[in-house]
Every structure is written in C-alpha cells, then in structure tokens.
C-alpha cells in the first residue's frame, strides 16, 4: 500500500507542478513549452525514482542523490529538458576539456523562470513568497560556488526573479511577456529562439 500511495502522491505533485508551469508559460506567451514541460517526469526512468524516494517537501532526486551519490532520474531529466541550464553545459570550444555553461535560447530561460517559480510554490507550500525562487538561486550559488550557467543566461534569470521578488507574480509575468518574449517575436533579425 505504501508504494501505491507514494505513486499517487508523486503523480499528484509532478502534475500540480506541470499545471503551474503551464499556466505561467501561457501567461508569458510560451504555449507549446507550457504543454510540453517536463513530460519526461512521467517516463519509467524518472517516475520510478519519484515513487521510491517520494517525500513531498523536496525533490525525490535529492533523496536518491543522498542515497546513491547521484540521481539517475536527474541525469535522465536534465539531458532531455532544455529549460535546465545543466542541459547547456559543454566543453569549451578551444580543445580545452574545461566545462562551461553555454548561452541558453531566451525561451528556455523564460521556461526555467516559470519552472523555478512553480517548484518553489509546490515544495514550499504556504511558506512560499515571491522572493522564494530568487532566494533559492542565491542559496544554490552559495552552496555550489559559481554555477556553470552562462553569464547572459544567469543575468536574464536573475532579472526575472528580481521582478518577481520585488513586484509580485502578476506584474513579473506581464513584464516577462512584454519586455522579453514579445520583442523576440517582433524583431525580424532576432536569432531564432
């Protein structure tokens, strides 16, 4: 009975998260990304870990990582979902084996913003504030040192998270739509994103 309960609760958690991201993406004009967001979480590779390590207040991937030293679900997930900056980590292009963050297309940075906001809401519940996602990014940076995120990607993400922290969700999402997403669709010489 415990595994069935975990399966149901995990399904509810990831579906709740997906619905929130979808709503946020729709508000900023990224309809396809809202619909397609995190579909790999329903795959056997990721879902099984979610059931086995379900806790409700943090990612099962974190629990699996504590147990094994790595997370099979996270390795699967980050390699299939372009809204994670880890997807964009590669070696430098000058035959240097050093890893670096590559610039992310704008639409994936915006989806990452929506994803982080939704994850904070789901995992923090009533403790969530508009500053939660920005605080988590800062905590992530202090825990890991410098993130392997391209500086342009990091600057754009921080700008959106700051809007959220300072102005609230409604205004932040409107600004993202009007100042980041819409201009990318209007300018004829803007690179595809």
Query: What is the average pLDDT across 36-51?
Result: 97
Q: Chain centroid to CA 168: how far?
A: 19
Model confidence pLDDT, tens digit, residues 3-15: 899 999 999 999 9
94: pLDDT confidence band, cut at 50, 70 and 90?
Answer: confident
Q: pLDDT-derived band of residue 192, with 50, 70 and 90 as boundaries?
A: low
DSSP category for residue 94: S
CA dist., res. 75 & res. 54, Å (int): 17
pLDDT at 152 over 70: yes
- Show the tokens assigned to 138: 């800062």
Query: What integer is the mean pLDDT of 141-170?
Result: 94
Question: Would you state the pLDDT for residue 54?
Answer: 94
- pLDDT-based confidence at residue 56 (cuts at 50, 70, 90): confident
For residue 176, pLDDT over 70 is answered with: yes
pLDDT of the residue at 187: 46
Q: What is the mean pLDDT of residues 118-140?
A: 95
Whether residue 66 is predicted with pLDDT greater than 50 in this model: the reply is: yes
Averaged over 161-176, what is the pLDDT?
Answer: 98
Average pLDDT of the chain to the nearest whole number: 92
Return the SS3 of 84.
coil
Over range 33-44, report the average pLDDT: 97
Percent of the chain surpassing pLDDT 90: 81
User: CA separation (Å) from 106 to 132, 153, 193?
Assistant: 22, 8, 6
Phi, psi of 57, deg, nearest 5 = -115, 5
pLDDT number for residue 188: 47
pLDDT tens digits, 117-128:
999 999 999 999
Average pLDDT over residues 76-96: 92
């Amino acid at each position: 009975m415990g595994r069935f309960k975990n399966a149901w609760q995990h399904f509810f958690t990831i579906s709740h998260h997906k619905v929130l991201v979808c709503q946020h993406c729709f508000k900023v004009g990224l309809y396809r990304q809202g619909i397609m967001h995190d579909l790999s979480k329903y795959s056997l590779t990721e879902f099984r870990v979610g059931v086995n390590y379900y806790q409700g207040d943090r990612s099962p991937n974190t629990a699996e990582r504590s147990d094994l030293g790595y997370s099979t679900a996270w390795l699967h997930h980050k390699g299939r979902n372009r809204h994670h900056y880890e997807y964009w980590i590669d070696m430098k292009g000058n035959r240097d084996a050093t890893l670096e963050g590559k610039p992310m297309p704008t639409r994936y940075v915006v989806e990452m913003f929506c994803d982080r906001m939704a994850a904070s809401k789901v995992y923090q519940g009533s403790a969530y504030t508009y500053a939660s996602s920005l605080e988590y990014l800062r905590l992530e940076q202090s825990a890991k040192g410098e993130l392997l995120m391209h500086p342009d990607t990091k600057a754009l993400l921080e700008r959106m998270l700051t809007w959220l922290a300072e102005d609230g969700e409604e205004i932040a999402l409107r600004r993202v739509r009007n100042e980041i997403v819409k201009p990318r669709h209007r300018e004829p010489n803007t690179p595809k994103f």
